[in-house]
A and B are shown apart, each in its own frame.
Chain A
Amino acid sequence: MQTTSRRKFLGICLGGLAAAGTAATAYPLLSYLAPRSIDETGGKVTFPETEIPPDGAKIFDYRGTTGVVIRKQSGELVALSAICTHLGCIVQWENEKQNFLCPCHAGRFTPDGAVISGPPPKPLAKLPITVANGVVTVG
């Protein structure tokens, strides 16, 4: 009887330590695998205005995702998220039609990002853009 209770006590202790050991292993492992944190607040993107082709779009990295800048026929610059709201493909600017086409499932967006046709559920997100002394700043 004494052996049984002793066994049970030691078994519980060992089980507790095993649980602690599992936690102590899991924590570093998960931290190791966790995505590297990207600075969500800063990370402004700047480039000279001349980098935007006159009849096209400039696609760039923006805080870990992808953004696009186009020049509308009015001359106004628009910055949008280039990620289609349907399944995440990168939209392409079609200059002759003056709208965005998502090559994956033929979703179309206006130069301001609103959905024209196709499956996308939401418009493209707008990004803040300023131009000063020929330098474009997004963010």
Chain B
Amino acid sequence: MRQSATNRFCVIACSTLLLLLTILSPAARGQEETVCIQCHGPQPGKGGAPVKAWRGSIHADNGISCHSCHGGDPNDAANAMSPARGFVGTPQEAGIPAFCGRCHAGIMEDYLKSAHGRALGKGGPTCVTCHGAHEVKKANLELINEKSCSRCHPYDRAAGIKEAMRQTEGLITDIERKIERFKGEGVDTERHEKSLFSLRNRYHRLFHEVDTAKVKRESSHIQQELNTINQTLENLDERNRRRKIAGAMVVGGLLVAALIAHLLKRTYDD
């Protein structure tokens, strides 16, 4: 009895210490310290492959670690993979959209409505078919490519969609760059950032749409609004140009005045 009480005390003390260490040590806040990675990381072959793939993924960059998707206890090696601690392991193929959709809810909705999603379980693609699983990168237009799409169907329709979206993508990155530049110059860009954020989301939701006409229609709406932002940014550029012209006049006037003052002074020199 006494023995087990001591044990319990030890366990509590140790786990408290561990918890404190986890909270206090700055390194522990990274994903590196989870027991998942401690065991799987060094494993050769299938066991360690996900860890290697995950490093450098957008999930790793944003601090989304193994347990964020697979559940389990990342701090307790003995119970790390216990279903009682919420471990879910690898989903079945038909369960993949729901698995990812726990976080990416809007995208799952779009996907399920699309032809891709309706073919789920009947040979249609799941999330990982195009995005990959552990190595997932920030979504971009290059995910639509001949090699990937023609695994299942001819590429021409996909190419049409990609073309309709390419311009939008270009506009968005262009505006993003401009906003970043203006921000570094002290311009209040908050309003533009907010509207760009919501437009980018609208644009991203198109990615899982496979209805070409709808993609084109929605793309042109988004582009219109992007162009309005672009226009206000160009007005800012124009304003800066006007300021520079005024500045050139001021500096020029001062230099001329300095020259005249100097000449005037010379008339007083003997």
| Interface residues of A, Cβ cutoff 8 Å to B | 3, 6-7, 10-11, 13-14, 17-18, 20-21, 24
Identity of the chain B residue whose Cβ is nearest the Cβ of A7 in the assembled complex: B267
Contacts of B94 in A (CB 8 A): none
Chain A residues positioned under 8 Å from B263 (CB to CB): 10
Please state if A17 and B260 are interface contacts (CB–CB under 8 Å).
yes
B-side contacts of A18, CB under 8 Å: 257
Contacts of A3 on B, CB cut-off 8 Å? 267
Chain B hits for A13, CB < 8 A: 260
Shortest Cβ distance from A4 into B: residue = B267
Interface string of B234-260 (1 = CB under 8 A from A): 000000000000000010011011001
Cα–Cα, bound, A11→B257 (Å):
10
CB-based contact B250/A24 at 8 Å: yes
Chain A residues with Cβ below 8 Å from B152 are none
Using CB atoms, name the residue of chain A closest to B263: A10
Chain B residue with Cβ nearest A6? B267
Residue B20 is within 8 A (CB to CB) of chain A in the complex:
no
Chain B residues contacting A7 (CB-CB under 8 Å) are: 264, 267
How far is B252's CA from A24's CA once the two chains are assembled, in angstroms? Answer: 13
The chain A residue with its CB closest to the CB of B265 is A10
Tell me how far the C-beta of B34 lies from the nearest C-beta in chain A, rounded to whole angstroms: 53
List B residues at the A interface (Cβ < 8 Å). 250, 253-254, 256-257, 260-261, 263-264, 267
Tell me, in angstroms, the Cα distance from A3 to B263 when the chains sit together.
11
B267–A17 CB distance below 8 A? no
Q: Give the docked Cα–Cα distance between A107 and B154 (Å).
A: 86
For the complex with contacts A10-B260, A14-B257, A21-B257, 17 further pairs of A-B residues with Cβ separation under 8 Å are A6-B267, A7-B264, A7-B267, A10-B263, A10-B264, A11-B264, A14-B260, A14-B261, A14-B264, A17-B256, A17-B257, A17-B260, A20-B253, A21-B253, A21-B254, A24-B250, A24-B253
Measured between beta carbons, the chain A residues less than 8 angstroms from B254 are 21
* Chain A residues near B267 (CB-CB < 8 A): 3, 6-7, 10
Say how far B255's CB is from chain A's closest CB, in angstroms.
11
Give the residues in chain B near A17, CB-CB below 8 Å: 253, 256-257, 260
The answer for the CA separation of A20 and B256 in the assembled complex, in Å, is 12
Listed residue (A10, A11, A21) with the most chain B CB atoms within 10 angstroms of its CB? A10
Q: State A20–B250 Cα separation when bound (angstroms).
A: 10
Alpha-carbon distance between A3 and B267 when the two chains are bound, in angstroms: 6
Q: Which residue on chain B has the smallest CB distance to residue A15?
A: B260
B225 to chain A, nearest CB (A): 24
A126 to B264, CA, bound (A): 65
Nearest 8 interchain pairs by C-beta: A10-B264, A17-B257, A14-B260, A7-B267, A13-B260, A3-B267, A10-B260, A10-B263
Would you give the shortest CB distance from A17 to chain B, in whole angstroms?
Answer: 4
CA distance A18 to B257 in the complex (A): 8
How many angstroms from the CA of A11 to the CA of B265 in the assembled complex? Answer: 10
Give complex CA distance A108, B67 in Å: 74
Min CB–CB distance B4 → chain A (angstroms): 66
**Chain B residues, CB < 8 A from A24:** 250, 253
* Shortest beta-carbon distance from A60 to chain B in Å: 27
Q: Which residues of A lie under 8 Å from residue B264 when comparing CB positions?
A: 7, 10-11, 14
Q: Specify which chain A residues have a CB less than 8 angstroms from the CB of B261 in the assembled complex.
A: 14
